[in-house]
Structure 1
Amino acid sequence: MKPVKIIKDAGHILFPALEQTIIAVVLVDEKNRIVFFNPAAEKLWQFSREEVVGQDMKILLPPSLQYNHKVWIQRHREGAESRVVGMNRELQLERSDGKKVWAVFSLSKVDVNGRIYYMAMARDVSDEVAAREQNRLLLLAVNHTVHPIIVLDIQHHILQVNKAFTTLTGLSVPDIVGKKAMALLPVQKKYKNISDRFTRLLKQNDWFQEDIPVSCADGAVMWFSAQIDPVSDGDGKLRNQVLALTDITREREIREYEKDILAILISSLSMMETGDAICRRIESLIHGCTALLYFYSGEQLLLWGESSSSGGHNGPQGIQGKKRKTWTLRSYNNQLMGKLVLNFSDDTQADLYTARIADISAHLCVLALEQEEKRQQIERLIQTDALTGLPNRSSLNHYIDRLFESTSVSQLSTFSFCIDNFSEINDSMGYAVADQLLLLMVIRLQSVLEPGYFLSRTEGIQFILVVPECDIILSSKIAQDLEKIAEKPVVLGGNTFSITFSIGISHYPECSRDELLSGAKMAMEHVRATGGNRWQFFNHETDRMVRERILMKRALKEAIEGNELRLEYQPQICADDNTVYGFEALARWHSPSYGEVPPYKFITMAEETGDIKALGEWVIREACRQMAEWKLSGVRIHSVSVNLSALNFRCPYLPSVIAGLLKEYHLPGNMLTIEITESAMLEFDSGILKRIQEIRDLDVGLSIDDFGTGYSSLSRLTGLPVTELKIDKSFIDRFQYDEKVAVLVKAITGIGRSMGMSVVAEGVETKDQLELLKKIGTSEIVIQGYYFSRPLPADMVPDWLTLYAENEF
């Protein structure tokens, strides 16, 4: 085909093509008249062809361009260069109905035989412009939000961050764009687990939320709650990930602060150490601030806590030249307890964060003060005799220890005395009258004893009087004074009682420090055995009694070696549902020479002779053997507890002995519980504590026997892996009649329950005692005593269990 023919064919094709294109096409002649207007143009401007052909082109232009357009066209026709021809630009057009649309517009100059035409081509881009504007506004909002935003590609490279991120972290856009998101996290070892988890979560390409640390430009670490959202295209293919961050640095600091202070409250720190620790922790959070704590003792405000920089001597009025703010510490019932004072340097602002720290601190300080009050109350209850208010044995031992440690004692007398025939009064008149008698005698004693004398009630009807710097002559006079105190008849409930004392006296230095209490008691017991109503120094006669004890100790050694001892088992019952909790194994000794020897007597002798180790191992072995026998015969026993002396725990291989017996008899550790008295806990050193933990690691239980009668502290208790507390029988005997004892029983139960321990009440003999235990809120307690059963020989336990199951209380 010839070129001329091709051009002629193209001319025939051109106008049909312009008619059918989706681009709006408008052709304007040399007089600016519209000579061509295709269907796409009709759709864009909403004019019909008939309405515009032959009209001036200005009807298609927005009013703002109509005048200038005529000038531009005329200049261009006259030969001036146009900046518009050949370029694309966006214009906002106005349709025939007045509606405005956006179009991309291009203008072409056409020269036909010297006649200048213009061809305009336009396309509706309203949706694109709207989308672009929406994106602009969205980016504007993102860049001005207070929450940091990070955009990642599918390989987790950082594509963009907003202004909030750079402002908070100090990192610039060039510093981080292109890097992996994981590079934002600190590299220190302590953050490795968090970094590894964050990396795994990113690779899942799914939504997640996680707390992460971020390294700032200055090296500090900020914490953010990070929420990752995947962004997919129309086909569901992942295109990006958007990481939205919320600054939780201060929230995390507050949580850590609360956790640290609560840890301080349950630690073994003293009250003053606790106050100092709280002040130091406050100052670590609020820079440029010094903290002071005060507590009320009566109406006096005393310094409680300060840091090394606080200078507590400045008082609650604050430090001169510094801004000060005070928070009052009040209990839940609005009791004034103390003050928290914060002193700020001139460049430190007391903002909302500071106020929040202070409010939390005030609340935690109130908890600390209330805890200290309760601790002191419990300590007072534990260290005093519940009935008389006199110091108990623990306080007595502590007093004598302090006396010998703090002063040079040249001589000292100890008086051990008791009311003669008191058991007859108790049996005939009852506990209430007997208790009144004891209280009356205490009042008489306190009214005549000199200041500096130490009077205590150690057990039942026994009192101990310690008099420092007391010679033999003064000792005799004091003994006579005691007799005179008892001479005056006592009238109670219409009954008259004649009271006498049995008094034993030991004198230091004739008696050693360790013999003072035992010597006085031996002399007292000898007086009682010979009729009472007199006093006697520890002498050769009591020494004869000691020699008799030596013979008995020898017999005990032979009994242990000859397997002459036996175990009896006393049931322990859960108070809430009457199920059998377990049994306590109690050692018994019937001697051919001395008859039935009380446990307290032969156990004490075993401790004195060193046979306690062999006795303890025999008790554990026999208990394990018996449990295995019951298990083999189908008798279900939950657990058996055995008593060990503190001396048993000094044996370095005690844990291996227990482990070996459990293995030998195929028993799980939780079937065995080891009991030790509270007072024995005072003798524990780090080696013993380690052995106790090794025993506990065998899943063997640890029970504190006679809890409340010793001199242990609550902090000591928290340091032991204890699983059970046993309330001493002396409390159970009295708590029906003495509100203080009832409070103590309830407190002990509460302590055990709050620390996840079982609580066993020993010596429950009556239904009234059981019901009262439940009434004061201790229904979860375990009951042991004659109310349910006396200690049973091993061969009677299966029958007792069967009978108990058939006739459950």
Structure 2
Amino acid sequence: MDPRHHQVLVPALEQAIDAVVLIDDTNRVTFFNTAAECLWGYDRSEVLGQPVTFLIPGDRQPYRDSYAEANQNGCENRTVGTSREVRIERKDGTEIWGSFSLSRVDVDGKIHYMGLIRDVTQEVKRRDELHLLSLAVNETDRAMLVLDQDRRIIYINRAFSDLFGYSLADVKGKLPSSFLAGASTEPETLTRFRRKGWELEGFTEDLLVYASSGDQIWVSAAVNPILNGSGSVTNVVVVLTDITPLKRIQSLQDDILEILAGDVSLPEVADFLCRRVEEIAPDIISSVLLVDSELKMRPLAGPSLPPAYSDAIDGVAIGEIAGSCGTAVWRGESVYVTDIETDPLWTPYRHLALPYGLKACWSSPIKLKGGRIAGTFAFYYREKRGPSQFHQQIVQACLHLCKLAIERDEARRQIALLSHFDPLTGLPNRAWFVAEVESLLQKAGNENRQVAFFAVNLDRFKDVNNSLGHTLGDKMLIEAAHRLQATFTTLAAVICRTGGDTFVVVMPDCDVAHASIRADRILHALSQPTDIPAFALSLSASIGISIFNDNGTDPETLLKYAETAMYQAKAAGRATYRFFSPEMNQLVESRLVLGAALRNALASNSLRLHYQPQVNLNSKKLYGVEALARWRHPEFGDISPVRFIPLAEEIGLIEIIGKWSLREACRQMAIWRRNGVAVPTVAVNLSPLHFRDTTLSKFVAELLNEFALPAACLTIEITESVMMNTGNETLKTLVALHELGVGLSMDDFGTGFSSLSSLTQMPINELKLDRSFMRNFETDPNAQAVTTAVVRIGQSLGMTVVSEGVETEDQARILRRLDCAVAQGYHFAKAMSPRDLERWISTTQPANAIPDRVGV
């Protein structure tokens, strides 16, 4: 090289942007410019004079050998080799890619080779990424297409061509909807798809489209816009997932759920299910079997199975080796048999399946709520194989559908059973009774024979339920049902439970005389002591009797009249029977009218409280008052509590009356206290139902707070029947009331089920001796003895004893002698209105007297 050229070349190479390396004929580096230092990370002093292998390590052998060979051959051409890419290991151990080209140059009369190396690491990385992306796009099973900014196709992948049958040449430049949409594509969905396709955010939409063959294909289209730096859409990438199998299964589910909502039998549902399954999966034969109570298989549906085969497997017992279905039930899990001919599970039954071309079978147990196995759902195959993923999806859906269908069928059967039979006693109910007795009466009418209707209602059953609990009440109902059945064992009687504690017996060929005998036998059978553990109670009943044809000709009328007579028997004292008479209708109508009037009275606040004084027998001072409900009707006049309180209990108003009484008594006490009327306390009667209400104590506390009353101003009277249910919520309610400071009084003590042990468990501070003990009290030593015992019990337990029904001075004198502290009755005063009570206090109580409750 001309020295002048050398002087120009070297500085130029030094300033070159690309790395420049000169190698002499011994393959040693003679020049290493600044760009090369940056590229390799070496200082030139570390490289000059080194063999070229210093820059190209041994693992780059093919590249190194080609450079050396080019040097040795001394090619005449200036370009030894074309540009190629090579990995370069830098001084710090990192690797980069360089684009390398080699040229021969003459330096000072000697041949050198000049290598030009450009850093192409980022280009290689982008190219690799594009290569991987291309592989992903073309190898995925999701159909993809890329649209330009006009939403026309510029690219499709291999999966798109496979799914729809179009090549890129077929669709390039077209709008996707122009060839994918078809007659059944929903216009609304397509419009929404087109509109949203121009938006800046991606979305997913299910769409029915068409392949080039005309086949319908359901796809889930995920549309993703590609934005440039300014936020404008430059391209749209659409990924289409074939969801046709899932849509077919969904359609199957929708169809089955729709027919389940109708009045379609279980066999019809199962048959429809199998046929629909075989439509969407033509390569299988489906069947549904049920398991009976003897654990034997019973075909329910299998429309494509040969009838002879279904008949042959009917009654096959489940077991460890019982084909696919019987074994699936035995194991409680799916059983796959890919070859019926060789699988040992089919050894006893392969001769049944193989002649019909059934070569494989997959059976899954149908499990209901609670894990009970009700049957199997099975796929048969005409070739030796197992299920596909699509088949597995179908079975998963069908097992759930079979479960729903079987549970619906069982629920309908249970409802049908419950609609005709009482679940507690097992007796027919009223609905069954009417249908059954109609035919009986029709036959009796044709033969001119009489039929007796007995309405049997247990006496005081509500008291048992409320005081002893519903569990014991249910046992008593069951016992009553058994005794009625035993009474008519040899007779063609119809016995049913029509509701609550009422039973009906219909006796054919039974006139009035025979009906009386039967009624006596019923009363005797029910009156025998029960053998219910821990209780020695006797049942009793009131019976009403009506006679066909004398009192009516249809079941409903005769039953109504028998029930009317039954109420008359209760009014006559219970534990007896009455025959229906027309006059009873008037009583029933009166009762209905009175019930409606009582509801109106409560709604219009027409009831009133009167107050009867309770007097300290020693000091004659006022001890307290008892609040008693009174009702004056504008048409019926004064209605006695003896009449309307039992009616309120029967028609479900007693709890409302109780809470009304509490509020009214507290309101009146607040007025008396504000006006300086010296009433120490007011006692309010509550029914046993109130103490089953866990919110009673809260209600009372709110009343005391509302009327600013101390708790000692209120006493709540309970009946002895409450004592029989001191467990659970009742006792908690009593304790909560006691903790408020409210007084608790045991009303009508000595007439019910009470016991001393129960009395000691309850927070009672007062006993009220029932008024029945005052009858002939002056001359009856037994009544006086009982009174003495009650007084001593009360004193020993720290309770005050109040005697009710005191009407004479002699009774009061004897009570004082017996140390009874408090009395109430007509001898002192009747129940009075608040104003009359105030006048009574002002005339009978000493001026400025403080009511005396000390020592009581």
With normalisation by structure 2, the TM-score equals: 0.48
Q: Which has the higher contact order (CA 8 A, sep 6+)?
A: 1
TM-score after normalising by structure 1: 0.50
> Which protein is bigger by CA-based radius of gyration?
2
